[in-house]
Amino acid sequence: MHTPHHTPRIVIVGAGIVGLGHAVAALDAGFRVIVIEQDSATVAASVRNFGHVGASVQTGELGELAREALPVWKGLVERAGVEARVSGTLVVARSAAEEAVLQELAADPTRFPEGARLLTGAQAAPMLGIAGSGSANGPRADAGSTSELLAAALLPGDLTADPRSAVARIAAWVDAHERGEVRFRTAVHGVEARLDAGGAGSVAVDTNRGRIEADHVVVAAGHLVGRLFPELAEAGDVRECALQMARVRAPEGLPLGPAVLSGTSMLRYGAFAGPAADALRAHLAETRPDLLEIDANVMFTHQADGTLLVGDSHFSFGSAPPFLDERCSLLLLDEAAAILGVPGLEVLERWQGVYATSARQDILRASPEPGVEVVSVTTGVGMTTGLGIGARTVAALS
């Protein structure tokens, strides 16, 4: 219990989007907040992604958390100057098997989001800049055949954020808050509950810069959770998912529009699950085994600086090696170029993303000691759900 004259203290380990989601919620709930981050800036999963807040393609608890996160994201645009916009998501179908998945989705009102629309290929093509006529600065009328684009679904409510600046701006907002502080270059060595005979007490957090006392601790260390709680990581089968991504220059005439998902995306997200998605997997196993081999999710987001974030492949490791496979990169880039109807894409940067993954749960939650909560998203949707998870965790503490 918190006394009326005591401002409860919470220490959050990890300055990624999940950790910062807890920090925002805790500040809004009246806590005094210290965020601890071992690196000098956030450099892991929360900056190495698409910036896609894809609530419309999630179901179950992930869907609930994603929808709860959306208004928090919108609020942080105003409060923290986060670069994010309501972009929607365009799911494109370039085969009959992919089109069948969209038709099955649209036929189920429990899965098809309010305001969503099925589009013909001709209706969707201008969103990709590959249809119509106009000036040299207009849509690409001669950028290749658009006949492969059979259909699409436009899901209007999703957000696209700039992942490289969003987390930094949220951290800066937390640090500037009168009850908030972010300590970078601070490594945690251990967390220990300290209870008196009556069961009350605090939690001690030992760091390379000294001990911090708190009423609550949230460990949001992502794939690094095993460094503090190895038994939890082993019991939850937490591994590292390594993925390959690239930043490319947007083709001429591409309007700043929705995030774009492809047929491979239909195999990854709960909203598309069903007999048609099963048939699509079998179809791709026959026609595009190379995409299934790298566990591809061919998708991209359009950023305000005129670039696209393109990806990605997925491989699971105990500890991810740092090496990029150029074959994977070229395969993903070729697929994105085909969707856009261009012969190729100009690559500006390539990188490896790493996030926590597990076959046992989507979110690892545990309370290994009194006053200590461990939270790791283990399915690669931290940007989509992290702010919602933080709000739920803090609400349970308040």
Q: Is 14 helix (H, G, I), strand (E, B) or coil?
A: coil
The candidate with the shortest Cα–Cα distance to 70, out of 392, 385, 375, 391, is 385
* 323 SS3 class: coil
| Neighbouring C-beta atoms of residue 247, cutoff 10 Å | 18
Mapped onto helix, strand or coil, the DSSP state of residue 21 is: helix
User: What are the backbone angles phi and psi of residue 200, rounded to the nearest 5°?
Assistant: -90, 165
Residue 384's CB is within 10 A of a number of other CB atoms, namely: 31
Query: pLDDT tens digits, the chain, 398 residues: what are they?
Result: 455 568 999 999 999 999 999 999 999 999 999 999 998 887 776 778 899 999 999 999 999 999 999 999 999 999 999 999 999 999 999 999 999 999 999 999 999 999 999 999 999 999 999 864 333 334 555 444 444 899 999 999 999 999 999 999 999 999 999 999 999 999 999 999 886 655 567 899 999 999 999 999 999 999 999 999 999 999 999 999 999 999 999 999 999 999 999 999 999 999 999 999 999 999 999 999 999 999 999 999 999 999 999 999 999 999 999 999 999 999 999 999 999 999 999 999 999 999 999 999 999 999 999 999 999 999 999 999 999 999 999 999 97
Two structure tokens written together for 118? 């099925």
E strands of 208-253, at which residues? 210-214, 216-219, 239-249
Chain position carrying tokens 């009246």 = 30
Q: What are phi and psi of 87, to 5 degrees?
A: -100, -25
Q: Where are the alpha helices (DSSP H) in 224-265?
A: 230-235
Question: CA 128, 131, 135 angle in degrees (round to 5)?
Answer: 105
Q: Under a CB-based contact definition with an 8 Å cutoff, are residues 118 and 284 in contact?
A: no
Sheet holding 52-53, edge to edge: 52-53, 159-161, 84-86
Give the whole-angstrom CA distance, residue 368 versus residue 231.
10
Q: How far, CA to CA in Å, does 396 sit from each of 17, 83, 190, 393?
A: 19, 29, 24, 5
Show Cβ contacts of residue 200 under 8 Å, excluding neighbours closer than 6 positions. Answer: none
CA 225: distance to chain centroid? 18
Adjacency order of strands within the sheet including 363-366: 180-183, 32-36, 9-13, 216-219, 372-377, 363-366
Q: Which residues pair with 259 in a beta bridge?
A: 89
